[in-house]
Amino acid sequence: MINISDKKDCCGCSACASICPRSAIEMKPDVLGFKYPEVDNDKCVDCGLCDKVCAFNDNYDKSLNLPEPIAYAARHKEMFEIMKSRSGAAFVAVSDWILENGGVVYGAGYTGHFVVTHKRATTKEERDEFRGSKYVQSDLTDVFKQVREDLKNGLTVMFSGTPCQTSGLNSFVGKTLRKNLYLVDIVCHGTPGATMWRDYLDYLEKKYKRKIVAVNFRDKEQFGWKAHKESFLFDGFTSFTSFTYVFYKHIAFRMSCGNCHFCNLTRPSDLTLADYWGWQRVDNEFNADDKGCSLVLLNTEKGKELFETVKDKMSVIPAKLENVMQPNLEHPSVFHPKRLDFERDYEKYGFKYVLKKYGQEPLYKRAYMFVRKCGSKVLRKVGLNK
Ligand SMILES: Cc1cc2nc3c(=O)[nH]c(=O)nc-3n(C[C@H](O)[C@H](O)[C@H](O)COP(=O)(O)OP(=O)(O)OC[C@H]3O[C@@H](n4cnc5c(N)ncnc54)[C@H](O)[C@@H]3O)c2cc1C
Ligand code: SF4
Ligand code: SF4
Ligand code: SF4
């Protein structure tokens, strides 16, 4: 039976809990909200399925992979789609086709008050919630089983998520059902936990004494694509804050993110989507407006066919692999040396304490944000910035 003695060995994909024939595994959250499998020994019959299905290791399925991925720079032809997406809206182009052809799309959306959760969509309206990166680990409870049910019912399914989620799902559904399943992953830096995210929202709402009504993890309108700044829309005003600052400090990621097996070009999915940092290497004008550019990797024959079918929706330029490399295609994120202290402090003293100790941006950055905020208020007043 599955036994996680070191947190870095479990990405929380939930494949083990989903496959257990005795429902003996429960995914339980730790102090930061990362879920780990816990086995009820009274129910377990030692069948070994949970160990076998676990794909968070170097033996994940690579049987469908092309010798090497084929790379493209891509931007959706519709600017409004780019503005709603994190990069160049390749996700929308691909998922549109799946939905238009009677398929089902799974992706990261929200339940309740911005709880990041994987959900199922059969219409574009439902799918639209998945657009945009949410820099928090999404909840997968019962989602793998739902995907398997759809596949058994003969539906075409596209599942989009982190590579540890797609590799877990691939292992869970098995080779026969994989035929109608399109796996789409992202190049992945790592994910903070759900509890910290909830505490952060609580903290902001208390601070401003209002409810948050919308979250944008990368506000392109205000700051452009590469600045990577989030905004929170409250009832009546917008606040620019520093959750992504904590994200890029690599201090709050799941422990497995420092041990990630998917930071390479042998992807566990048919397609990989990413921000194309270094897009200038294919064409200096392609993303000159700084609204976002996708990197698309075609990893399997199936991925290649899918991309060929949808690529007319986008402007695309072939790219050489050596021109698309970025850190998380080469190695896992290197953790902040105080990662473990962060977790201990969180447990002992709570969110506000760690935010103060580890989460403050340097003064010059806070000053920059303040000036931008005042600037956009003035522009709005004179009607130049809506
Ligand atoms: C946690 C995280 C880390 C990332 N790290 C990098 C990186 O290091 N380098 C890089 O180039 N790109 C990274 N990205 C990917 C990038 O931000 C874009 O999501 C990607 O380029 C797709 O952009 P798009 O414009 O095609 O579509 P978008 O509209 O941005 O597509 C959103 C897609 O991301 C998925 N998604 C969103 N949030 C989550 C989540 N929490 N968990 C699982 N799936 C999610 C949705 O299901 C959907 O498939 C990361 C994304 C996330 C969520
Ligand atoms: S060994 Fe079998 S019964 Fe026991 S927890 Fe794993 S899958 Fe469930
Ligand atoms: S990585 Fe996935 S399958 Fe493996 S132990 Fe963790 S939750 Fe279970
Ligand atoms: S870095 Fe690796 S382990 Fe962490 S969320 Fe991303 S794919 Fe999963």
Tell me how far the alpha carbon of residue 291 lies from the centroid of ligand 1, in angstroms: 15
- Of ligand 2's atoms, which has the minimum distance to the CA of residue 2? 6
Mean pLDDT of the region 229-244: 70
For residue 13, is pLDDT > 60? Answer: yes
- Of ligand 3's atoms, which has the minimum distance to the CA of residue 25? 8
Percent of the chain with pLDDT over 90: 78
For residue 61, is pLDDT > 70? Answer: yes
pLDDT tens digits along 355-374: 888 876 555 555 555 555 55
Tell me how far the alpha carbon of residue 241 lies from the centroid of ligand 4, in angstroms: 24
pLDDT value of position 384: 41
- Choose the residue to mutate in 14, 45, 144, 172 for probing ligand 2, maximizing ligand atoms within 8 Å of C-beta: 45
- Choose the residue to mutate in 1, 14, 43, 54 for probing ligand 2, maximizing ligand atoms within 8 Å of C-beta: 1
Pick the more confident residue, 26 or 356.
26
Instruction: Please give all residues whose beta carbon lies within 6 A of any atom in ligand 4, as ranges.
Output: 11, 162-164, 188, 190-191, 254, 256-257, 260, 262
pLDDT value of position 266: 98
Pick the more confident residue, 94 or 382.
94
Q: Whose CA is nearest to atom 2 of ligand 3?
A: 13
- Helix H, strand E, coil C: the string for the chain is CCCCCCHHHCCCCCHHHHHCCCCCEEEEECCCCCEEEEECCCCCCCCCHHHHHCCCCCCCCCCCEEEEEEEEEEEECCHHHHHHCCCCCHHHHHHHHHHHCCCEEEEEEEECCCEEEEEEECCHHHHHCCCCCCCCCCECCCHHHHHHHHHHCCCCEEEEECHHHHHHHHHHHHHHHHHHEEEEEECCCCCECHHHHHHHHHHHHHHHCCCEEEEECCCHHHHCCCCCCCEEEECCEEEECCHHHHHHCCCCECHHHHHCCCCCCCCCCCEEEEECCCHHHCCCCCCCCCCCCEEEEEEEHHHHHHHHHHHHHEEEEEECHHHCCCHHHCCCCCCCCCHHHHHHHHHHHCHHHHHHHHCCCCHHHHHHHHHHHHHHHHHHHCCCCC
Asked if residue 14 has its Cβ within 6 Å of ligand 3, the reply is: yes
Asked if residue 24 has its Cβ within 6 Å of ligand 2, the reply is: yes
Mean pLDDT of the region 104-110: 98
pLDDT value of position 213: 87
pLDDT tens digits along 150-170: 999 999 999 999 999 999 999
Domain boundaries, the chain: 7-53, 60-386
pLDDT value of position 31: 97
The ligand placed nearest to the CA atom of residue 10 is 3
- Choose the residue to mutate in 5, 14, 52, 54 for probing ligand 3, maximizing ligand atoms within 8 Å of C-beta: 54
Mean pLDDT of the region 66-86: 96
- Choose the residue to mutate in 133, 147, 225 for probing ligand 1, maximizing ligand atoms within 8 Å of C-beta: 133
If you average pLDDT over every residue of the chain, what do you get? 91
Asked if residue 26 has its Cβ within 6 Å of ligand 2, the reply is: no
| Second CATH level (architecture) for the domain 7-53 | 2-Layer Sandwich (3.30)
pLDDT value of position 223: 65
In this prediction the pTM is: 0.93
Tell me how far the alpha carbon of residue 7 lies from the centroid of ligand 1, in angstroms: 24
pLDDT value of position 315: 98
For residue 81, is pLDDT > 50? Answer: yes
- Of ligand 3's atoms, which has the minimum distance to the CA of residue 2? 5
pLDDT tens digits along 280-319: 999 999 999 999 999 999 999 999 999 999 999 999 999 9
pLDDT value of position 171: 98
pLDDT band, very low/low/confident/very high, at 231 (cuts 50, 70, 90)? confident
pLDDT tens digits along 189-223: 999 999 999 998 999 899 888 888 888 876 666 66
Mean pLDDT of the region 101-130: 97
Mean pLDDT of the region 23-47: 97
Asked if residue 183 has its Cβ within 6 Å of ligand 3, the reply is: no
